[in-house]
Structure 1
Amino acid sequence: MRHLLSPLLVTILLGVASAAQATVTNYTTTLSGAKEAPPNTSPGTGTVAVLIDDVANTMKLNVSFSGLVGTTTTAHIHCCTPEPLSGTASVATMLPVFSMFPLGVVTGTYNMTFDLLSASTYNPAFISASGGTPALAEADLLAGLIAGTAYFNLHSTAYPAGEIRGFLVAAPIPEPGHLAMWVAGLAGLAGVRRWRRR
């Protein structure tokens, strides 16, 4: 019985650890006036992290900015430029601005999660250009992020076309739930080894 139970326990633990392996990808950028098209001399700076969960179909957006010349009027993700890390593109995300984004300020932070399968997450023109459905818009946005042809743009009263921006670049990160399952699986294997030694 002991020899049958150990392989069974190992199989169960490894099965649980490998189930629901969401790929969470972190796209990041730093924002500056020098990265605008055309570049400007704004002293404003910022950072953006966009976390995409391909199983939950969510986009978590974390933004921090400061030192703007004008006050914020809108903020978007634009996609997709003809060439990676250069050029301009139409607005891909919701209009006129991300919901609850801090407006009328020169410094701020923003944290929000969006449903990538909801039409309200996108500019209607981006949905139409992508084939007419939120799922196709999601596919185009993700392809743009992967290709480096999507950027975050923060517009202000001083620079209506965009005061600071940055192209989003991917860096995979481990999904926390998946990592926790692997830790639990390894702990279970250690327990099985101790049990077999007895």
Structure 2
Amino acid sequence: MNRYGTLLRAALVVGAASAALAGCGMMSKANVASFGGTMNAASEVPPNMTRGSGMAEAWLNRDTNVLKYKITYTGLSGPATAAHFHGPAPAGANAGVVLPFSNAASPIEGEATLTPAQAADLSAGKWYANVHTAANPGGEIRGQLLPKM
């Protein structure tokens, strides 16, 4: 009975260690990159004088190119009339819309599958989130999406 108990414990320890190692392998295969950007009026091109602020967050699964995002904001001059990701452009430059959001009300949450070129631009820090209002149709607040370390 003692020998059986020792063998059983050893088998359980080996099984648990194998499961833990397999779990670690699965975590590394997730390959998710995180991005974030503080949104404000000073980041707009050209800047404006509104007091709105917000946060843009995004997570890209590099294996599938599925992007999940969340944008929150407050203090705009009025209701948001549109919101979307723009790119490719570095901070201080403007670009066209690459991913419109179906709803501009905060919080904005969603997901989309990116092309390889879009994923590369996002990863290079060339995407930004923009929220527009009637008072600022070109954009009231903007946040450059930069990789989080």
Q: TM-score range by the shorter chain?
A: 0.7 to 0.9
The residue number in structure 2 matching 1:110 is 108
The whole-number CA distance in structure 2 between the counterparts of 1:92 and 1:48 is 15
Q: Distance in 2 between matches of 1:12 and 1:100?
A: 42
User: 1:153 and 1:100 mapped to 2: Cα distance?
Assistant: 13
Paired residues, number: 141
Structure-2 separation of matches of 1:48 and 1:141: 17
Which moves more between the two structures, 30-39 or 20-29? 20-29
Encode CA deviations 1:19-45: one digit per residue, 9 max, x unaligned: 362122221111111100011111111
Deviation at 1:14, TM superposition (A): 1.4
| Partners of 2:55 and 2:72 within 8 A in 1 | yes
Provide runs of 4+ in structure 1 moved above 4 Å: 4-8
- Which structure dedicates a bigger proportion of its chain to strand? 2
Per-residue deviation, 1:12: 5.0
- How far is the alpha carbon of 1:147 from its aligned partner? 1.5
Following the alignment from structure 1 to structure 2, what is the Cα–Cα distance between the partners of residues 32 and 89? 17
Q: Give 3-state SS (helix, strand or coil) of 1:75's partner.
A: strand
Q: Does 1:31 align with 2:39?
A: yes
Q: 1:89 maps to what in 2?
A: 95
Tell me, yes or no, if the aligned pair for 2:66 and 2:112 is still in contact at 8 Å.
yes
Name the residue aligned to 1:52.
60
Identity among equivalent positions (%) equals 29
Partner letter of residue 73 of structure 2? F
Distance across 2 between alignment mates of 1:7 and 1:44: 55
Unaligned runs of 5+ in 1: 103-107, 117-136, 173-198
C-alpha RMSD of the superposition: 2.4
Which residues of 2 match residues 59-74 of structure 1 at below 5 A?
Answer: 59-74=67-82
Per-residue deviation at 1:80?
0.4
Which letter maps to 1:86?
G
What letter is aligned with 1:15? A
State the match for 2:128 in structure 1: 151
With structure 2 as the length reference, what TM-score do the two structures score?
Answer: 0.81
Q: What residue in structure 1 maps to residue 51 of structure 2?
A: 43
Which deviations, in whole Å up to 9, do the C-alpha atoms of 1:42-73 show, x marking residues without a partner?
11111111111223532221111111113211
Are 1:169 and 2:146 counterparts? yes
- C-alpha distance in structure 2 between counterparts of 1:57 and 1:147, whole Å: 14
The one-letter amino acid paired with 1:100 is N
Of residues 139-148 and 72-81 in structure 1, the stretch that sits farther from structure 2 once superposed is 139-148
CA distance in 2 between partners of 1:155 and 1:89 (Å)? 14
TM-score by length of structure 1 reads: 0.62
Specify the code of the residue in structure 2 equivalent to 1:92: V
What stretches of structure 2 of length at least 5 have no aligned partner?
Answer: 1-5
Paired with 2:22 and 2:59, the residues of 1 have a C-alpha distance of 26
Instruction: Name the amino acid aligned to 2:26.
Output: A
- The match for 2:102 is 99
